[in-house]
Amino acid sequence: MDKHFDVIVVGAGNGGLAAAANTAKAGLKTLLLEKHNIPGGCATSFRRGRFEFEPSLHELCSVGTADKPDLVYKVFDDLGAKPNWCYETGHLFRAIVKGENGYDVRLEAGIEDFCNSVDAAVPGSKASVRKFVDLKPKIDAAIDYIYATKGNPNGLVMLLKHSDFMRTAGHSVEQVMTACGIPEKAQNIICTYWGYLGVPTDELNAMHFLNMLYGYMVDGAAMPKHRSHELSLSLIDVIQKHGGEVWYNSEVTQFLYNDDGSVAGVVANEEKLYSKEVISNVIPHNVFNMSQLDKIPEQNLKLANAREFGISVVTIYLGLDCTAEELGLEDYTVFIMGHPNPRVQHDTRAEDGLYIVNCLNNVIPDSSPEGTCTLFFTMPIFGHDVPKDLKPQDYKKYKNDLAKKYIEDAEKVLGISIMPHIEEISVATPVTFARYLGTPEGTIYGYKLSGWDNLMARIAGEKADYAIPGLNFCGGHYIRGDGYSCAYIMGDTVAKKVVKRLKGGA
């Protein structure tokens, strides 16, 4: 058997799948290695009894439709992958803050409707919200200019023509919103989405947040009809149709290097496999730990040491023997928070911070059998929030205690009865994600998009940050951070660069 490939992709997560599908379609001899028996990483599904659960996806932003395709739709469509996209119609989300200064609001999709729904909750806020949202086209114009100059924009042109971009990209969400004159309550309502990026909005880069927010406002939220497993299999199909190899149960245990420091290949299942380039969906921490230390450029090792891990989650999957209607829940996404402020939500995450309740049947009615529905709870917590003295034998109780607490809280807040209807239950924690993803601390968001390590700064540092020749990265730990859409887009982008290098024309 030939052990030489043009490209080896390590890890069939969303980034790795999009990357391998691109290189295979471009005619490069591609091998995708995955340690599990199925693809997707977090993008999969699992069955319990008569239910098939979505393990991680809430909704994708920037998908769009066949008539009005956005980035993600195009990534799939250009590859020839045809998942059955479904869309959340009506509102984007419902946000409930408990307590005295609480509120219960629903935000609508579409720019105008979105601003109106914020205004309905905070009268007089519309103009300021609009001002914030209208920064998005200015950002796009600036980025187009930066691309046109191949990353070397003229400072004076930037300052004269794109100063609002610099203001947005150079400050936190909170700073820019405050500068736009958005009242605090309206800020809190809009910033409900912080959990999707894992960083509270006083630290999160404004441009990054606005990009995501805009993606949801304009396109609405999208998801595949048959859980994320469908997205993953649709990309596997592309890879195999174009002659790419996909090997499951094939965990990479070592990265191989040439004398000149460039990557030579990997070891999987005790076998050496060689390629011209490697695309790693695996987090640099793990890659470096599987590499000879002297092959890691000092700057890259320092960066890894400087970084904090991104957030993980506790998730509860419930199969109920009643319909969503019988349950009395009409929303797909409900954010429930103990306090209106994102920073406080973040700091009290282990007690009463923020959690999300999703009912997939409210978008895809037949996503569970007739007469049933599923609920999906998500609480953002860090891997280091798991108690240090937790013993393996007490882990089941730890999970059930968490589940009980959140289910009972949701029953109270939403005024519905969940507990008597539980036909299937499964609970995941950072331990679960550590098990399936193998990431340090069970992070699902790679590295924290900290103030200093934000999207814009990562873009500027890209060349120096990924300095091993032939070794490319994609996935939640990469430049754009986590989220299905980001991972697909970056996998696509990185692979296209590899294709250009290997097939010439660059």
Partner 1 sequence: MALWKLNPMDFTKMNPTRQAKIKAAPAKPLPATNSYVPNQIANALHPKVQYLKVVKIEEEACNAKRYYLAPNEEKGTKALAWFSAGQYLSITLKIGSMALTRPYSLASSPRESLEGIYMLTIQKVEGGLASQFIHDNWQIGTEVTASEPLGNFTYEPLRDATTVVAVVGGSSITPFRALAMAIADGDEDCDLTILYGSRTLEDTIFQKDLKELEANCARIKLVNIFSHEEREGHEHGFITAELIKKYAPKGAFSLFVCGPQVMRKFVDKEIETLGLRKKFIRNELFGEYFGPAKEADYPENVAPAFKVTVRIAGTEQTITAPSDVSLLRSLEAAGIAAPAHCRSGECGWCHSKLVSGDIYTPKSVDGRREADLLYGYIHPCCSFPLSDLVIEVPPVAK
121 token code pair? 């909750």
Does residue 13 bind partner 1 (CB under 8 A)? Answer: no
Binding positions for partner 1, 403-422, rule CB under 8 A: 403-404, 407, 419, 421-422
Does residue 434 bind partner 1 (CB under 8 A)? Answer: yes
- DSSP for 100-112? TT-EEEEEESSHH
Nearer to partner 1, 97 or 296 (CB): 296
At 219, which amino acid appears?
A: D
CB 217 within 8 A of CB 109: yes
CB of 322 to partner 1, least distance (A): 10
Does residue 175 bind partner 1 (CB under 8 A)? Answer: yes
- Of 9-17, 109-117, 331-339, 381-389, the window that binds partner 1 (rule: CB under 8 A) is 381-389
Does residue 274 bind partner 1 (CB under 8 A)? Answer: no
CB of 104 to partner 1, least distance (A): 26
At 205, which amino acid appears?
A: N
CB 147 within 8 A of CB 254: no
Does residue 442 bind partner 1 (CB under 8 A)? Answer: yes
80, 90, 170, 183: residue in contact with partner 1 (rule CB under 8 A): 170
154, 258, 299, 417: residue in contact with partner 1 (rule CB under 8 A): 299
- In this structure, the number of other CB atoms found within 10 A of the CB of residue 463 comes to 8
4, 306, 469, 503: residue in contact with partner 1 (rule CB under 8 A): 306
CB of 392 to partner 1, least distance (A): 4
* CA distance linking residue 358 with residue 167, whole number of Å: 35
Helix (H) or strand (E) holding 15: helix 14-25
Q: Is 73 helix (H, G, I), strand (E, B) or coil?
A: helix
100, 260, 370, 392: residue in contact with partner 1 (rule CB under 8 A): 392
At 428, which amino acid appears?
A: A
- Of 21-29, 332-340, 424-432, 481-489, the window that binds partner 1 (rule: CB under 8 A) is 424-432
96 token code pair? 């409930």
β-pair type (103-108, 91-97) = antiparallel
Maximum C-alpha span of the chain: 69
Give the count of residues interacting with partner 1 (CB under 8 A): 100
Backbone angles phi, psi at 114, to 5 degrees: -60, -50
Does residue 272 bind partner 1 (CB under 8 A)? Answer: no
Nearer to partner 1, 306 or 500 (CB): 306
289, 325, 365, 417: residue in contact with partner 1 (rule CB under 8 A): 289
Does residue 292 bind partner 1 (CB under 8 A)? Answer: no
Nearer to partner 1, 106 or 448 (CB): 448
Helices (H), 423-483: 430-437, 455-465
- DSSP for 21-53? HHHHHTT--EEEE-SSSSSBTTS--EEETTEEE
* CA distance linking residue 446 with residue 280, whole number of Å: 13
CB 408 within 8 A of CB 416: no
Kindly list the distances between the CA atom of residue 73 and the CA atoms of 240, 303, 445, 497, in Å, as whole numbers in the listed order. 20, 33, 22, 20
CB of 109 to partner 1, least distance (A): 25
501 token code pair? 């290098």
Binding string, residues 59-98; x marks residues near partner 1 by CB under 8 A: ----------------------------------------
* CA distance linking residue 31 with residue 267, whole number of Å: 13
Binding positions for partner 1, 312-351, rule CB under 8 A: 312, 321
- Of 146-154, 191-199, 214-222, 456-464, the window that binds partner 1 (rule: CB under 8 A) is 456-464
Does residue 236 bind partner 1 (CB under 8 A)? Answer: yes
Q: Is 246 helix (H, G, I), strand (E, B) or coil?
A: strand
Does residue 227 bind partner 1 (CB under 8 A)? Answer: yes
* CA distance linking residue 215 with residue 348, whole number of Å: 28
CB of 215 to partner 1, least distance (A): 22
- Of 213-221, 438-446, 466-474, 489-497, the window that binds partner 1 (rule: CB under 8 A) is 438-446
CB of 45 to partner 1, least distance (A): 5
Binding positions for partner 1, 149-168, rule CB under 8 A: 155, 159, 163-164, 166-167
Binding string, residues 29-48; x marks residues near partner 1 by CB under 8 A: ------x-xx------xxxx
